[in-house]
Amino acid sequence: MVAANNNKWNECLRIIKDNLELAQYNSWFAPITVESFENNELTLRVPTAFYVEQLDGRFYNLLASTLVRVYGKGIKLKYSYDIIKDDPQAHVVSEEPHKSVAVQPMNPFAQQEKFSGIELDPQLNPVNTFENYCESKSNKLAYSIANAIATNPKCQTFNPMFIFGCTGVGKTHLIQAIGIKMKEENPLSRVLYVSARTFESQYTSAVRTNKVNDFINFYQSIDMLIVDDVQEFAGKTATQNTFFHIFNHLHNKQRHLILSCDCPPSELDGMEPRLLSRFKWGMIVELESPDYDLRRAVLLRKAMQAGVKIPDDILDFVAENVKDNVREIEGVFASLMAYSTALNQPLTIQLARNVLSNTVRMSKQNRVVTFDSISDAVCSEFNIDKELLFGKSRKRDVADARQLVMMLAKKFAKMSSTMIGLKLNRNHATVLYACKTIEERISVEKDFAAAVGRIEATLR
């Protein structure tokens, strides 16, 4: 029986290995063994709790489909690990509910005539709780408001809550934490997290199958709707109009709307004015880039969750050098664990230095790309006076440089079309046209593409 179980798991490993890069396979799957298989329930032995998080977050679809293929439908999966690495006395088995492994696309808008009392999967990652969220000066206001909404949902002061910030600063974690807390306080509440892109895809499908009313009725039944990356609605007029009506209905019924975006409403391009005005009705709060204390706290929290002790000098080294966002810090930690496990090496400053050299730019190399640095680089490449960019000259070389500055400012400085237009005394429509024109020219003009490549290399 043991040999048969091992043979089945070895078959799973063979399939997984064929679908992953060798380094990924060696880091995340080679160390896994079968602890038991009884009553169609498979328990896998993994090195630490961190592996569970990575397997569920990064490789779930591959693992789930492979288990179904080898073990059959209805297979149930559990994990076994030591809370403290290599300490058998700290052994635990994951306490998550026994759910059959299934590979099904998310479909919250099911075809149902009535939604009242129907169980709804909120699509929340159970890891993204307030308890797992690190607080510091850079996110204190957003954290406090989010907590207030979740603990006192009857208060409508912050409805809707609009959170904005750069990529990787923790927006998704925070908005999901609100939903998780809401479900803890009110288990029967209908909470749903959905990305704007998924919402748009569902709407398109509803239009194609003539089920828009079902789609709208479902979303109007939600008690707390959490929409991530609303900037993805830009340019999709029909989707925006539908969301506008759903927004109005939920807000009138005093249901909560939690929205995240990569910029404030005032800088959103391609959005219907009436929808933008509603984004401004409640609380708009920014999640700033993580400060040193937050970066160090995130790394320490990840280590504690994985049952690994990281020396203080490594904590300091990583926190000082990984400055852009929380996601990069989590990525560096994952790489540290993978390298340490695969190479059977202790965590050292040299190992951290090697990992960081492959994943992020070190502090001495970091530079902020600004509108001015972009303008300088473009004018230097085309040998024109920088002041001409801001004038009315329509000479070909000046117009080309101006359009290129617009495109690069959007790409590298992450500026909105409106802000770029203000810098150059143009409107946002001109900026959008310029970006499209430059991209088309790069694809067909080799010399121009080479010049753009040189400028981008300078900016990087």
- Gap between the Cα atoms of 27 and 384, Å rounded: 52
Q: What is the pTM of this model?
A: 0.55
Contact 459, 412 (CB under 8 A): yes
Phi and psi at residue 254, to the nearest 5°: 60, 35
CB-neighbour burial class of residue 403 (10 A; exposed 0-12, middle 13-18, buried 19+): buried
Q: Is 66 helix (H, G, I), strand (E, B) or coil?
A: helix
- Is the N-terminal amide bond of 160 cis, ω within 30° of 0? yes
Task: Report the largest interatomic distance among the alpha carbons of the chain, rounded to a whole angstrom.
Answer: 81
Q: How far apart are CA 178 and CA 128, in angstroms?
A: 9
Give the distance from CA 57 to its chain's centroid.
11
Distance CA 410, CA 5 (A): 54
Cβ-in-10-Å burial (0-12, 13-18, 19+) of 176 comes to buried
pLDDT score at 22 = 81
Structure tokens at 266: 């005032």
Hey, what are 96's tokens? 């998550």
pLDDT value for 94: 52
How confident is the model at residue 82, as a pLDDT? 66
Q: Are 393 and 355 in contact (CB under 8 A)?
A: no
Strands 161-164 and 256-261: parallel
The pair of structure tokens assigned to 69 is 């293929």
Instruction: Give the pLDDT confidence score for residue 1 in this predicted structure.
Output: 52
Residues in the chain: 460
pLDDT for 88 equals 46
| Strand, coil or helix: 179 | helix
Contact 195, 259 (CB under 8 A): no
Two structure tokens written together for 455? 């400028």
pLDDT below 50 — which residues of the chain? 84-92, 95-108, 110-117, 362-366
> Does residue 291 contact residue 322 with C-beta atoms inside 8 Å?
no
Give dist(CA 279, CA 260) in Å, integer: 10
- 3-class SS string, 296-334: HHHHHHHHHHHCCCCCHHHHHHHHHHCCCCHHHHHHHHH
Distance, in Å, from the CA atom of 453 to the CA atom of 460, rounded to the nearest integer, reads 10
335 CB-side CA count, 13 A: 17
- Amino acid letter for position 86: D
Task: Using the Cα atoms of residue 298, residue 302, residue 307 and residue 309 in order, give the sign of their dihedral.
Answer: negative
**φ and ψ at 194, to 5 degrees?**
-150, 140
